[in-house]
């Protein structure tokens, strides 16, 4: 569990949640991906933080930030191109042992050219100082981590499409848990800061976690644990 924040090491850091201005960023993945569970905790988180004294605002990113994430987004194009570069050897000697996704990368099913690869790299690089400028207006940005609660079982870890744009922009992020979905499985939110502001992000995350963590404690379902594993209560962490 994230412990309550101590006195800030930097006088520019907020000393309490009431000193924070928090921007909620849905991103262009909201409409195609956001589940009812995510939409519910989004509003709950805003309400909890507002009642705790934080100034909360919705932030709409400009159109140039669209199509960064998602299955057809620019970050996905880069992943596939870089995947093709790194998987070529394995593809040549053991294609039959590769997952179909990796085969698709190796065979460049999207048909991305070198010129397109360079163009996308340059477009995303140009957005990095712009997101820094936007995020600098706030103590932290809050954005979805995933479309909904954690998937059941171990066969799939869930969609990465809410997270991938922040990976592409090279900004530090941290997930703050605290909520449960309709099936009792966990769902959290991601906090984002400008590039190279990791220390500030960690400090503000402690303040935000102090408000959000444990808000759905009674609804969370404990997943089955391997034999011999003992659950530790959050107060003992």
The mean per-residue pLDDT over the stretch 115-129 comes to 92
Give the range of the structural domain holding residue 216, as residue numbers without chain letter. 17-66+119-236
pTM here is 0.83
Residue 110 in this model has a pLDDT that exceeds 90: no
Asked whether residue 112 is domain-assigned, the answer is no
Residue 172 in this model has a pLDDT that exceeds 90: yes
Asked whether residue 143 is domain-assigned, the answer is yes
pLDDT of the residue at 223: 66
* Most confident region among 110-114, 137-141, 227-231 by mean pLDDT: 137-141
pLDDT of the residue at 224: 66
**Rounded to an integer, what distance in angstroms lies between the CA atom of residue 20 and that of residue 12?**
11
Asked whether residue 8 is domain-assigned, the answer is no
C-alpha distance from residue 218 to each of 39, 147, 234, 237 (Å): 20, 22, 13, 18
Residue 237 in this model has a pLDDT that exceeds 50: no
CB 172 within 8 A of CB 165: no
Asked whether residue 171 is domain-assigned, the answer is yes
Asked whether residue 165 is domain-assigned, the answer is yes
The mean per-residue pLDDT over the stretch 55-82 comes to 88
Classify the phi-psi angles of 5: left when phi > 0, otherwise alpha if psi is within -120 to 50, otherwise beta.
Answer: beta
User: Residues 112-151, buried b or exposed e (16+ Cβ, 10 A)?
Assistant: eeeeebeebeeebeebeeebbebbeebbbbbbbbbbbbbe
Write the DSSP symbol of residue 140: E
Confidence band of 236 (pLDDT split at 50, 70, 90): very low
How many folded domains does the chain comprise? Answer: 1
**Rounded to an integer, what distance in angstroms lies between the CA atom of residue 209 and that of residue 43?**
16
pLDDT for 216-225, tens place per residue?
877 877 766 6
CATH of the domain at 52: 3.90.1300.10
* N-term to C-term CA, the chain: 6
pLDDT of the residue at 85: 82
């Amino acid at each position: 569990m994230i412990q309550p924040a101590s006195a800030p090491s930097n006088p520019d850091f907020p000393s309490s949640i009431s000193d924070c201005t928090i921007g909620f960023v849905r991103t262009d993945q909201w409409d195609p991906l956001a589940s009812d569970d995510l939409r519910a905790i989004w509003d709950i988180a805003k309400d909890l933080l507002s009642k705790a004294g934080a100034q909360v605002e919705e932030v709409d990113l400009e159109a140039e930030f669209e199509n960064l994430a998602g299955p057809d987004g620019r970050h996905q194009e880069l992943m596939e191109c870089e995947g093709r570069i790194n998987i070529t050897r394995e593809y040549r000697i053991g294609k039959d042992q590769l997952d179909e996704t990796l085969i698709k990368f190796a065979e460049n099913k999207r048909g991305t050219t070198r010129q397109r690869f360079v163009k996308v790299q340059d477009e995303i690089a140009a957005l990095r100082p712009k997101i820094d400028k936007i995020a600098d207006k706030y103590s932290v940005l809050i954005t979805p981590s995933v479309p909904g609660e954690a998937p059941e079982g171990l066969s799939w870890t869930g969609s990465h499409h809410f997270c991938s744009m922040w990976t592409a922009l090279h900004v530090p992020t941290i997930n703050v848990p605290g909520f449960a979905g309709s099936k009792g499985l966990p769902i959290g939110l991601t906090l984002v800061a400008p590039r190279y502001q990791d220390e500030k992000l960690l400090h503000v995350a402690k303040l935000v976690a102090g408000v959000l963590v444990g808000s759905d404690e009674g609804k969370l379902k404990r997943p089955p644990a391997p034999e011999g594993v003992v659950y530790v209560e959050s107060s003992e962490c």
